[in-house]
Amino acid sequence: MVEEQANDFLEARPWLSGICDSQSTEELKSKYDSWANTYDADIKEDWSFMPANIAQTLSKLLPKKDATILDAGAGTGLVGEALYQKGYTNLIAADLSEKMLAIAKERQVYKALHQCNLEDSQIFSNSVTFDAIIAAGVFAYAHAGVEVLNNLFGLLKEEGIFLLTIREDYRREMQTALEQLPWTLVSEEGFPIYEEAKLMYLMAFKKKE
From 58-66, 111-119, 125-133, 174-182, give the range in contact with ligand SAM by CB under 6 A.
111-119
The least CB distance from residue 184 to ligand SAM, in Å, is 24
**Site for ligand SAM contains 100 (CB under 6 A):** yes
The least CB distance from residue 158 to ligand SAM, in Å, is 24
Q: How far apart are CA 128 and CA 168, in angstroms?
A: 31
Residues of this chain, 156-195, that bind ligand SAM according to CB under 6 A: none
The least CB distance from residue 146 to ligand SAM, in Å, is 12
Strands (E) across the chain are located at 69-72, 91-95, 112-115, 130-139, 156-167, 183-193, 195-207
Q: How far apart are CA 172 and CA 84, in angstroms?
A: 32
**Site for ligand SAM contains 75 (CB under 6 A):** yes
**Site for ligand SAM contains 95 (CB under 6 A):** yes
Size of the site for ligand SAM (CB under 6 A): 21
Q: Which of 58, 82, 118, 204 binds ligand SAM (CB under 6 A)?
A: 118
Q: How far apart are CA 177 and CA 102, in angstroms?
A: 32
**Site for ligand SAM contains 97 (CB under 6 A):** yes
**Distance in angstroms between the alpha carbons of the first and the last residue of the chain:** 51
The least CB distance from residue 3 to ligand SAM, in Å, is 25
Q: Which residues contact 104 (CB under 8 A, 6 or more apart)?
A: 74, 75, 76, 77, 80, 93, 95, 110, 113
Q: Which residues bind ligand SAM (CB under 6 A)?
A: 25, 28, 32, 73-75, 78-79, 95-97, 100, 117-119, 136-138, 143-144, 148
